[in-house]
A = this chain, B = another copy of it.
Amino acid sequence: MPRTADHDARRRQIAAAVVGVVAADGFDAATVARVAAEAGVSVGLVQHYFASKDELLLFAYQQVTGDIGDRVAQLIADGDARRQPISVVVAASLAELLPLDERRRGEYRVARAFLGRALDNPSLASVARATAADLRGRLSAAVTNGKECGEVAPGVDAELAATRLAALVDGLGDQLYLEPQRRVGSRDLPAVARRTLGEALAETFTGECRHYR
């Protein structure tokens, strides 16, 4: 066998370069040549690892959404380990998705850029659908768990609540991204977003966990 390389690592490296370029200069700046330069490799190497630019973009998008999902999963695991109430864990998870600081703002920009292209790219659209379904699944599971432990009233429809929370965090994210400095009455928008999410959660998580108090 000839010389070997870590195939997956190279693909991730190149995908990371895509994300870097999109975050820095927007989706249109993510040309193959620019991505190769950002990754410190040649155009030929990018072609060696990705059959087409579309495949590259798809992989990069999956990478981004996967990374975000992993961080949310980590937040949930941490919250569970610390035996925090479900509503608190969910609040932290949703806040992670909002563009509240430069890091999350960059990530949001990338995610939204891909979502915009998903409008006319079926492959990207299916990733977007899967990502959204994943978030709603986690939220739905959280509500269901809440019903079991007493934080949520028995009659609540978990899927409905999840859909509503997902929509709210989505819309708040858009507003935060577009006008991070906006003021709403005496508060700034980030505070309003947190508060609004908190209120929405309080409407669903109305009780206390009976397992530990």
Contact = CB atoms under 8 A, between A and B. Distances in A.
Enumerate the 9 nearest inter-chain pairs by beta-carbon distance, A residue then B residue, closest first: A116-B116, A26-B120, A167-B171, A170-B171, A171-B171, A167-B172, A159-B184, A164-B196, A113-B119
Nearest to A203: B203
A145 interface: no
A18 interface: no
Interface string A129-149: 100100000000000000000
B160 A166 contact: no
A178 B25 contact: no
A168 B166 contact: no
Contacts of A196: 160, 163-164, 167
Q: How many subunits of this chain does the assembly comprise? A: 2
A117 B120 contact: no
A155 interface: no
A28 interface: yes
B178 A125 contact: yes
A160 B192 contact: yes
A159 B187 CA distance: 11
For A117, A157, A166, A178, the residue with the greatest tally of chain B CB atoms inside 10 Å of its CB is A178
A124 B70 CA distance: 33
A131 to B, nearest CB: 10
18 contacts: A25-B120, A27-B116, A27-B119, A28-B120, A29-B120, A113-B120, A116-B117, A116-B119, A132-B175, A132-B178, A157-B185, A159-B184, A160-B195, A163-B196, A166-B171, A167-B171, A167-B172, A167-B174
A201 interface: no
Contacts of A159: 184-185
For A120, A132, A167, A178, the residue with the greatest tally of chain B CB atoms inside 10 Å of its CB is A167
